[in-house]
Structure 1
Amino acid sequence: MNLSSLYFGRRVAPLLALGFASGLPLALTGGTLQAWATVENVSLQEIGFLTLVGTAYTLKFVWAPFIDRYVPPLLGRRRGWMAVTQILLALGLIAMGMLSPGQSLGPLALLAVMVAFFSATQDIAFDAYRTDVLRPAERGAGAALSVLGYRLAMLVSGGLALIVADQWLGWGRTYALMGLLMLVAVLATLWAPEPERPGQAPVSLTEAVIEPFKEFFARPQVWMLLLLIVLYKLGDAFAGALSTTFLIRGAGFTPTEVGTVNKLLGLSATIVGALAGGALMAKLGLYRSLMAFGILQAVSNFGYWLIAVGPQSIWLMAFGVGLENLCGGMGTAAFVALLMGLCNHQFSATQFALLSALSAVGRTYLAGPLTPPLVESFGWPIFFAMTVVIALPGLWLLWQRRTEIDALDDRVKAEANS
């Protein structure tokens, strides 16, 4: 399969726009909303309260069974929910633009909570759709295009939205513009094809809640697979936990230098890595891709070590940040493909929501709390060398589970060809 047919195929190409729709609301209920409130002189305590708006993203597995169970009257079980939530998101963002945090913070915060809820629900449906529609050989490419669309949306709704609001349209009209962009995403949902083998919806909500867990935990060696999900990107999570703080405070670069290199070059490298990883996965298969990209992902953390021990150089920072993000993007493409492969199509909304929540455990509960004391105890150079070691248990466990992952890959391919 050549690159053009892989990335421009009927099932893969729409994921770029759908990934964009998935990423667009996040900053608009997070950093961009906080910036708007700051400009309008809202108190720091109230701005801190706004950070709770995004709670829905961490709890989306709670109502994922509802998305598995019920089928909207149009466009099928996955695309139907995507279209419904995209329309509600468009209306919600436009409504947010009609208010002001300086004058109507309470109603605006309530609208933001609703937008975050609809956005998390869209993510549930989109992750399930991507899992159901892609053939095994397309999963890496599908994951890569989704990441590309998501990151572009973060640029648009984050940095670009701030510039547009400050220089041209003002905050209210900027939010209305973002709502119109979300409305355009409905066209991508209409264009996207139905899965070739759509899973049968559970017959009851009780079954939708219980059976995804029952089916998943009945699999052999399931606890080892769950541990692999936690460990696979753990070294990457530790290296990135305080990377911006390190570059400014530890390496002595200015915020402008860090913003330019870490954000623009880092984002570009992540996108290139994800696209390259998706293309290579079609040839290497799931296990070999996970192992190869996992090794690169671990070794690339030495890029930050070089920045820590080397002379202060913008080019050295660009090399280290670019290398780490390039390899991290490749690892992400393979990792998302693994999560998709582990899902049963009948319960893909619930199972993917659970697995993606589990994948955040290492980043949230291990890397975040443990990185500061490790840096204080050992210093930045030794810490970044340690992140390479932290990545090794995940690679060892991946090697231990190679037979099961190969069997998973073969089973999914056989089901696709049957």
Structure 2
Amino acid sequence: MTAPEAASPTSATPAPTWREAWAVYLQPRVLIVLMLGFSSGLPLALSGSTLQIWMRESGVDLGTIGLFALVGTPYTLKFLWAPLVDALHVPIFTRAFGRRRGWLVFSQLLLIGAILLLALTDPARSPLFVALGALLVAVMSATQDIVVDAFRVESLPESEQAAGMASYVAAYRIGMLVSTAGVLVIVSGFEGADIARSLAWTWGYVVMAALILIGTVTALAATEPTQSAAAEAATSTETAFSRVLHAAIGAFSEFLSRKYAWVALAFVVSFKLTDAFSGSMTAPFVIDIGFSKVDYAAIVKGVGLTATLIGGFAGGYVARRYSLVASLWIGGVLQAVSNLVFAWLALVGTNQWALAVAISAENFTGAIGTVIFVAYLSALCQNPLHTATQYALLTALAAVGRTYLSSGAGYVAEATGWPQFFVISVVVAIPSLILLAWLQRRGHFDAVGPVKV
């Protein structure tokens, strides 16, 4: 494998000064993307890790909890309805807010309703209804992601793409922390006020539904991307069916016509698998080795949040300082090796400092890896006529690892024990690094070029 090298003037943007690096984060477009990132990150854990803790406390076995990763299926299939987002108008909403913003507001209102529905379920008594509620949350969350990703790629100029991606990923992970640690703090607070556990969880989810309104207010305050408005004008004379057909066919045919397209797709599927495989069991692991959900929430909310912020901005700096392929090497290796910290934690046991170190390492390296991965995916999407469809296809493939390939993680953990499980999660990263080396040697990343629309 070829080691990453510092970028040359022809392979990446020259390193910015610290003043320049920070100033770009205060641009209005970047701040809008930041707030939308929070709204996108919030619902993922509500049908994932947070729901797993709720189910574990309700007495559901680990095998069933692991299988619940399958409710993330909409994240892998969202490319199927992404052409509708690219091509169709939402009555009233599109006319009032525009092509992208109309879909944003519409999807967020539906997402709020889905979270409230999930809040009314009971994992102990009706796991089927829990699965259906979680599935609806995943569908609405995936739809919001489709629109936010297209909005981000189309609204940011090349000079703000790195900062936008860093802000988006940092805010996305903060949203996930709020819907994990935040929910646990809220639920514990309600329980401390002598509210029944099941009702406490219900109110925790109600609060999360209300926080989605942050994204709705942001969408209302934003302006429609110029690129999107131009694409809308270019297809205004076409029928709805024709626009959907062109968005679907154009997105797939344009990407698959590229050299080494299938290998690139395999790399997209595998790059975040190591992170997803270990992450799908992190919350049950922490509870199983003896930490309370209050301990877990306090660590995640404190050092975890700080590590996420630092990691997100560090990822943005790496993406701007180094070439794309070098950045991918850095992110890929860091997010894999960091899983060994949890293997160490399994041996140490219930030590608060050890948990803080493990959570910090996970959030810091995960944020770096995600920023760089988002940079790569964004660089692959350069046509505003089907930005939503193409980006949805790529992120859906990336979700295959999180949803299907990691769905058996609970059974692996039960069969091997926690220390061995996290060592295995490091080994899971090897295929992605082999594909990265293969694509690098054949000049794939040189052909991709910088992130721009």
Same fold (TM over 0.5): yes
Equivalent pair of 1:131/1:341 in contact (CA under 8 Å) = no
Question: By how many angstroms is 1:247 displaced?
Answer: 4.2
Q: Which amino acid aligns with 2:82?
A: A
Equivalent pair of 1:30/1:51 in contact (CA under 8 Å) = yes
Question: By how many angstroms is 1:68 displaced?
Answer: 0.6
Residue 314, structure 1, aligned to residue 352, structure 2: yes
**Hey, what does 1:195 align to over in structure 2?**
225
**Hey, what does 1:254 align to over in structure 2?**
291
Secondary structure, in 3 states, of the residue corresponding to 2:231? coil
Match among 69, 75, 83 for residue 97 of structure 2: 75
Question: By how many angstroms is 1:361 displaced?
Answer: 1.7
Residue 337, structure 1, aligned to residue 375, structure 2: yes
**Hey, what does 1:132 align to over in structure 2?**
154
Supply the distance in 1 between the matched residues of 2:413 and 2:129 (Cα, whole angstroms). 42
Supply the distance in 2 between the matched residues of 1:181 and 1:334 (Cα, whole angstroms). 27
Equivalent pair of 2:166/2:371 in contact (CA under 8 Å) = yes
Supply the distance in 2 between the matched residues of 1:370 and 1:184 (Cα, whole angstroms). 34
Residue 233, structure 1, aligned to residue 258, structure 2: no
Secondary structure, in 3 states, of the residue corresponding to 1:200? helix
Question: By how many angstroms is 1:159 displaced?
Answer: 3.3
Supply the distance in 1 between the matched residues of 2:54 and 2:226 (Cα, whole angstroms). 44
Residue 64, structure 1, aligned to residue 82, structure 2: yes
Supply the distance in 2 between the matched residues of 1:393 and 1:55 (Cα, whole angstroms). 23
Structure 1, residues 194-236: CA drift from partner, whole Å, max 9, x if none? 4343362564222222221111111111011011112212233
Supply the distance in 2 between the matched residues of 1:312 and 1:90 (Cα, whole angstroms). 37
Name the Cα RMSD after superposition.
Answer: 4.3
**Hey, what does 2:164 align to over in structure 1?**
142
Question: By how many angstroms is 1:145 displaced?
Answer: 2.2
Q: TM-score, normalised by structure 2?
A: 0.72
**Hey, what does 1:368 align to over in structure 2?**
407
Question: By how many angstroms is 1:177 displaced?
Answer: 6.2
**Hey, what does 2:27 align to over in structure 1?**
9
- 1:346-361 map, 5 Å: 346-361=385-400
Supply the distance in 2 between the matched residues of 1:194 and 1:284 (Cα, whole angstroms). 31
Q: Which amino acid aligns with 2:184?
A: G
Match among 175, 179, 187 for residue 162 of structure 1: 187
Supply the distance in 2 between the matched residues of 1:387 and 1:137 (Cα, whole angstroms). 36
Question: By how many angstroms is 1:283 displaced?
Answer: 2.0
Equivalent pair of 2:114/2:133 in contact (CA under 8 Å) = yes
Say which is worse superposed, 21-30 or 117-126, in terms of deviation: 21-30
Structure 1, residues 253-307: CA drift from partner, whole Å, max 9, x if none? 4334445435653444233212221133222242221112222222223323433
Say which is worse superposed, 225-234 or 23-32, in terms of deviation: 23-32
Say which is worse superposed, 60-69 or 269-278, in terms of deviation: 269-278
Supply the distance in 1 between the matched residues of 2:53 and 2:421 (Cα, whole angstroms). 33
Q: Which amino acid aligns with 2:389?
A: T
Q: Which runs of 5+ in 2 are unaligned?
A: 1-15
Match among 403, 407, 418 for residue 447 of structure 2: 407
Supply the distance in 2 between the matched residues of 1:8 and 1:148 (Cα, whole angstroms). 15
**Hey, what does 1:213 align to over in structure 2?**
252
Question: By how many angstroms is 1:14 displaced?
Answer: 0.9
Q: TM-score, normalised by structure 1?
A: 0.77
Q: Which amino acid aligns with 2:221?
A: W
Equivalent pair of 2:270/2:401 in contact (CA under 8 Å) = yes
Question: By how many angstroms is 1:96 displaced?
Answer: 9.1
Equivalent pair of 1:140/1:334 in contact (CA under 8 Å) = no
Q: Which amino acid aligns with 1:129?
A: F
**Hey, what does 1:223 align to over in structure 2?**
262
Structure 1 pair 380/33, CA: closer, same or farther in 2 (3 Å)?
closer
Supply the distance in 2 between the matched residues of 1:52 and 1:231 (Cα, whole angstroms). 17
Supply the distance in 1 between the matched residues of 2:70 and 2:425 (Cα, whole angstroms). 30
Residue 185, structure 1, aligned to residue 215, structure 2: yes
**Hey, what does 2:37 align to over in structure 1?**
19
Supply the distance in 1 between the matched residues of 2:361 and 2:207 (Cα, whole angstroms). 35
Supply the distance in 2 between the matched residues of 1:221 and 1:193 (Cα, whole angstroms). 37
Say which is worse superposed, 161-170 or 267-276, in terms of deviation: 161-170
Question: By how many angstroms is 1:315 displaced?
Answer: 2.4
Structure 1, residues 161-206: CA drift from partner, whole Å, max 9, x if none? 5367665998798777666544453331233344343362564222
Structure 1 pair 313/341, CA: closer, same or farther in 2 (3 Å)?
same
Question: By how many angstroms is 1:248 displaced?
Answer: 4.9
Residue 297, structure 1, aligned to residue 342, structure 2: no
Q: Which runs of 5+ in 1 are unaligned?
A: none
Structure 1 pair 100/292, CA: closer, same or farther in 2 (3 Å)?
closer
Q: Higher relative contact order at CA 8 Å, sep ≥6: structure 1 or structure 2?
A: 2
